[in-house]
Structure 1
Amino acid sequence: MKKPIIKSSRLLILLVCLIFLAACSGSTENSKPAEPKTAANSSPAGKIPKAAETAEGMIAQKAGWLMKKHFDEDIEAVKPIDWFKYRNFYDETFKPIMEQEIGHYFEKHKNLTSEEVYNYLVYTLGSGQYERFYKPLTAFTHGFQAPELPTEKTDTVETAETPKQANALILIDASGSMKAEVPGGVKMDLAKAAIQQFAAELTEGTNVSLLVYGHIGTGSDADKAKSCQAIESIFPLAKYEKASFQQATDSFQASGWTPLAGAINKAAELLSAYPSDQYANSVYIVSDGIETCGGDPIAAAKKLQEQSIQAKVHIIGFDVDDPGQKQLKAVAEAGGGEYATVKNKEELETQIIKKWRPSVFEIAGKQGVPAHEYVDKISELTNYKVHLTDLSNYEKSRIANATYFLSNQQLIDDKTKEKVLSIIEKRNRLRNDHFEQIYKMKKQKLEEAKNIIDQKVSDWKDQWEK
C-alpha cells in the first residue's frame, strides 16, 4: 500500500517543479530590458546622403522625407497669387511636425558637424520639385513666326479704322500702409518707379493722368475724414511729359486712409467728357489694401464700366492679404478689367508689363510679333523662373528656421549654427543665380527673335511705301 503513495508523491513534486520553472522562465523573459526605439523615419547620421553642392545636383535632388510625407506638392509650388496658402500651411501644420521630428533626431545625434547638420536638414526639408519647372525653362523656345509678306503689289486697297484716342488714368494708393518694405524696397517708392516707367512707355499720343488718394493726414481716427477726402489729380489728363510727370510723382508720400471708391468716382468724373465711341479709356490702380473710408469700390467700378465712357479698371494688388485680394479682384472684375497681385519689386514690374501694356499697344495693319504673343511668352518664361525662385527661397527658409530651432533648443552650438546658415545662404544664391542666368539667356533669345521679325516687317513696309 505504500508504493502507490510514494509514486503519487513523486508525481506531485515533479509537477510543482515544472510550474516553478515555467514561472521563472516567464519572469526572466519579462525582465529583459526593452529594445531602444528610434524616432520614426529618422536615419543614423552615417546613412544620411551628402547634400548636393552644385546647382544641377540640387535641382535633381529628391524631396526631403518630411516634405514628401506631410507637404502637398501643389501648396509648396503654389502660384505667386496664392502664396498665403504656403505660409499658412507651413506655420499652422508643417512647422510643429518638423520641429518635433528634428528635435527627436538631434537629441540622439549630438556633436554633428555643420555639414552633417545641413545634410540632414536637406534630407528632411529639401524641395524635390525643381525639375518640374526647370525642364520647361531650359527647353523654352519663343515659337514666333514672321507673317506672310507679299513680294508683289496687288490692286487690293487695305483700309483700317481710325484708331481711337487713348486715355490712361493711373490711380496710386498713398495710404499709410504703402510705407512698408517688401523685397526690393519701400512699396511707395517701387510703385512710383513702376508707374513712371509705365507712363513713359505708353503708345505715342496717349493722354495720361495721375491721381493720388489717401496722401493727406495720418492713419489716426482724428485724421480719417480729412484723409478720406484726399483725392487729387496731380498730373491732369494730357500727353506724357517726363519732367512734369516725375515732379508729380515726387510731390506726395504715403500717409493716411484708403478712399478707393472715391478715387474711382473721381476717375469717372474726369473721363465723363470722353465717350467710348471716340476714346479708348482705361483706369489703372496700384493698391496694397481694401477700402477703409466706407465707400463701395465694386459699385464704383461697375458704374464706371457701364457709363458711356466704358473705362476698364485694371488693378495690381501690392503685398495684399487675403481679404484685400478678394475685394480688389472683385473691383477689377466689376470694372471689366484684370487683377494681379505681387509681393516684391520684380513681380510688380513684370505684372505691369503683363497686365497693362498690352491693353494700350493697339497696332493696326501688318505687324511683326503681336504684342499679346510677346507678352504671353514673357509671362510664361517669367512664370518658370518665379516658381523656381520661390521653391528655392522656401527651401532656404525651412532649413534656416530649423537651424534656429535647433540652436534655441541648444541641440547645436552657436558656431555650428552660423556655419549652417552660411551654407544655406550660399546654396540658395547658387540656385537662384543659375535660374536667373538661364532666364536672361532665354529672354535675350526671345527678344532677338522678335526684333528680327519686327525689322523684317518694317523693312517690307518701307519698301512698299516708297
Structure 2
Amino acid sequence: MKKYFIYLGLMLVLASCSSEDETLNQAKETSNEVMEENEKNSNQNTENSMIEKLDSIKLVQTKEDMKKQQGGVLLNNISMEEELAVNEEERLQEINEELREQLEDITKQTQDPVQLEKALTYLLGSHHYKQIFENAEEFEPDFEEPYLPYPGKSKAEVKQEPKSGKAIILLDASSSMLLSVDERMKMDVAKEATSRFAEVIGQESDVSLVVYGHKGSESDSDKVVSCEGIEEIYPMDTYDQEVFETSLTTFESKGWTPLAEAIKKAADMSDSFEEAITVYIVSDGVETCDGDPVKEAENFVKKDEERTVNIIGFNVDQDAEEELQNVSAAGNGDYYTANNADDLQKTIEYEWLPSAIDLAWAFTKAPGPWEILDAYNLFDVEHEKIKTTIKNENDRYNHTVNILAEEEMLSSEVISELQDSIEEKYQSRLDILLNTRSKKIEEIDESADKIKERVNEWTEEMRKRRDERGDIW
C-alpha cells in the first residue's frame, strides 16, 4: 500500500512538470508570433514612409520647379562650389555603398518608372538651382553711366569766358567737410563732384588739383600743421580720369581751413605758366588760419587780367557765403551756391558746353559692340554654372540607372522607360537654361539701347544749343 502512494505521488509530479512545459512552449510561440508581426508592421511602415517621401517630390517641368527642388539626401553636405568643382565620378565613388543600399530598398518597394525617377531626385538631385538661377537673374551689365551735362550759358556769358588754358581746382578738405548733406558725408559728395568737374574742364584745359585742410586735425595743437598742409595731389597735366580719381582717394577731411594760403599756392604755381589761368574753389566754410583770402585773390589777378577765381560755396552758412562771394569778386570770378549734392552737380554742368568735335564723338559715350560682348561673356560665367549643375545632376542619374541595370534590380522595359524620361527632363532643363540666357541677352541689349538713346538725345540737344549760340567749332 505504501508503494502505491509513492507511485501515485511521482505521477502527479510528472503531470505537473508536463503542464508547465506546455505553458512555456505556448508562451514562446506567442512571443515569436508577436515579434514577427511587429517586424512585419515595421517593414510596412518603412515602406509606406519611403513611398510618401517619393509622392511628395515633384518632377521638374519649369524653372520655378528647378528653383524649388530640395535636393538629394546623399548630397546634403555638398556646397555649390564643391558641386561645380568636384568630378562626378569621384563623388559617386564616395557614396557608392550607401547609394546601392538605398536603391535595393527602393526597388523592393516600387517598380513604377515615375516613382523611380522621383527616387533619383530624392537621392541625387542638386540643392543649388535656386542660388545659381538667382545669381544669373540678378546679373546687370556694368555699363559706364555716360556723363551728359545740360549747361545753360547765354551768349553774353560765353563772350566773357576765359580763353582755353590751365585750370587749378582748390578743394577744401577741412574738418567741416565731415558733416553730412543729403545723408552723405560732404567730403564724399565734393570728391565725386570734383571728379566730374575735372572731366568737364579737362576737355579744354590742363588740370591741377590742390587740396587743403587734410593735414593734422581741428585741435589747436595741430593748427600750424593743418594750416601749412596744402598739397598738389594731381600735378598740372592733361586730364586722366583714372589717375585723377585715384588722387581723390589719397586724403580725408581733418583740420583747419587755409583758404588764403591755398590761393597763394595757386598763384605761385601759375608764375611759370603763360596760358590763361582759372582757379576753381570748392569750399564749405570761411578762412580759419588767420589769412586774408580776399587779398590773395586780388594779388592773383593783378599779374594777369585773364586770370579768374571762381568759387562754389557748398552748403555754406550766411557768413561763409559773404566771405566767399567777396573772394570771387576780388578774383574777377563768379560765385555759385550749391546747397546740396544736386545743386553741386548742376553748377558743374553749367560750366561747359561740348565742342563740335566732342559731339562728333559723343556716340562713344554709349556702350559699343565690344562692351556689350563683354557683358554677354560676364553673364555667361553665371550661365555656365547652371549648365554644369544640370550636366552633373544628369550624369548622376545616368550612373544610377546603370547600377539598376547591372544589378538587375529592374526589368529592361522599366530601365528603358526610365532612361527616356531622364533624357527628356535633361533636354527640358537645357531648354529652360537657353530661354534664361536669351532673356538676359535681351535685357543687356535693352540696357545698352537705352543709354544710346539718351546719348543721341543729348547730342541733338547740344547741337541745337550750339547753333543757337552761333558756335562753329
Structure of higher CA gyration radius: 2
- Greater helix share, 1 or 2? 2
The TM-score with structure 1 as length reference comes to 0.43
The TM-score with structure 2 as length reference comes to 0.43
